[in-house]
Copies of this chain bind each other. A is one copy, B any other.
Amino acid sequence: MKHIRGFASDNNASVHPKVMEALVNANDGHAIGYGGDKITERTQQLFKKVFGKEVETFFVYNGTGANVISIQALTHSFNAVVCAHTAHINVDECGAPEKLSGCKLLPITTNNGKITVEQISQYMHGFGFEHHAQPKLISITQATELGTVYTIDEVRTIADYVHGLGLYLHLDGARLANAAVALDCSLADITFNAGVDVLSFGGTKNGLMFGEAVVFANAQLADNVKYIRKQSTQLHSKMRYTAAQFEALLTNDLWKENASHANIMARKLETGIRQLNNVKLTQPVDSNGIFAIVPKGTIAKLQEEYFFYIWDESRSEVRWMTSFDTQEEDIEGFLEVLKREVG
């Protein structure tokens, strides 16, 4: 590819300078390992300020780790986890949820990445019937893998339904910041205030070098998590360097600044695309992802200039992700290429 920045994924982006600065600043002398340091303690307190004073936060390396820890914390191996068929846990983690939790995943076919109570209810049977994996956890992604966003009411409706059945709600928030910006709400409002029980809070896709946080609505839910994190290979010895990044992200609303920028860039790209005749958007552009069908045979040409991924080869559907470091010139440049190659 010709250009230094593309639209492949927000995890192809760099590390935000303020995050890098926090890493450099944290690099001072010795610190107790495994989270016994001051930065970790401070950042856990910061999470309480942002997400609610009852929450319990555990820093981990990556999103798959955060998700499998969330699942293990709230299930037994004979349970089932209901999610969209597009969910990261269902299609992008190489079976890690099944392997580590032992649970069955029950996928709901969805056009836009979002699931509804009505769809969930299709799986809400067989309770007490020992032949069936027992549903215990519902997992939704926010923003979804298709760039769409649940409203606060949609999340709350699912949470209420789920809790009414004695089940739990997990939110895979690898791109939670983008969703909160899209909804113009706080991180707490779209998660614990809306009934979420456990959250995978993403950092890597919003400017961190690495690092996600598993956040529980309260300490009781998190009772076994420190062991689960360790046994799931997700405990960082030099934890201060994970925590410092999150401290930077939650300080002066850097999370919002980054996500907001990415979303704006996506809107800008969307606006440009709508001028084109031969590119068809397949999803609403709620956050920082754009899904579009382009004429067959044009993809390779486009990729030569700006790297991105094919989403569904059979129908020539592609995905363009923007990120905190996408520049206006990237959008403009790409739109020009699109115009030239696709028309």
A94 in contact with B65 (CB, 8 Å): no
- A232 and B230 in contact (CB under 8 A), knowing A12-B30, A29-B14, A104-B95? no
Interface of A is mostly: loop
Q: Is A307 located at the chain interface by the 8 A CB criterion?
A: yes
- Give the contacts of A148-162 with B (CB-CB under 8 A): none
Alpha-carbon separation in the docked complex, A11 to B35 (Å): 12
Instruction: Type the 1/0 row for A213-249, where 1 means its CB is closer than 8 Å to any CB of B.
Output: 0000000000010111111111111100100000000
Q: Is A6 located at the chain interface by the 8 A CB criterion?
A: yes
Alpha-carbon separation in the docked complex, A63 to B95 (Å): 22
Instruction: Type the 1/0 row for A96-139, where 1 means its CB is closer than 8 Å to any CB of B.
Output: 10111011110100000000000000000000001111100000
Q: Is A61 located at the chain interface by the 8 A CB criterion?
A: yes
User: Of A72-80, A253-261, A263-271, A288-296, which binds chain B?
Assistant: A72-80
B62 in contact with A237 (CB, 8 Å): yes
Alpha-carbon separation in the docked complex, A293 to B133 (Å): 26
CB distance from A141 to the nearest CB of B (A): 15
B11 in contact with A237 (CB, 8 Å): yes
CB distance from A139 to the nearest CB of B (A): 15
Alpha-carbon separation in the docked complex, A69 to B129 (Å): 18
Alpha-carbon separation in the docked complex, A263 to B325 (Å): 43
User: Of A20-28, A38-46, A191-199, A333-341, which binds chain B?
Assistant: A20-28
CB distance from A62 to the nearest CB of B (A): 7
Alpha-carbon separation in the docked complex, A104 to B241 (Å): 31
- Give the contacts of A294-325 with B (CB-CB under 8 A): 307, 325
Alpha-carbon separation in the docked complex, A80 to B20 (Å): 39
Residues in chain B near residue A186, CB distance under 8 A? none
- A32 and B61 in contact (CB under 8 A), knowing A94-B227, A98-B103, A105-B104? no
CB-based closest 3 A-B pairs:
A4-B29, A78-B227, A95-B133
21 A-B pairs whose Cβ atoms sit less than 8 Å apart in the complex: A5-B30, A8-B30, A9-B33, A15-B238, A34-B131, A61-B61, A61-B234, A64-B235, A68-B233, A76-B227, A76-B228, A78-B227, A78-B231, A94-B133, A94-B231, A98-B103, A104-B105, A130-B230, A133-B231, A134-B227, A210-B236
Binding site for B on A (CB under 8 A): 4-6, 8-9, 11-15, 20, 23-24, 27-34, 61-65, 68, 72, 76-80, 91-96, 98-100, 102-105, 107, 130-134, 204, 209-210, 224, 226-238, 241, 307, 325
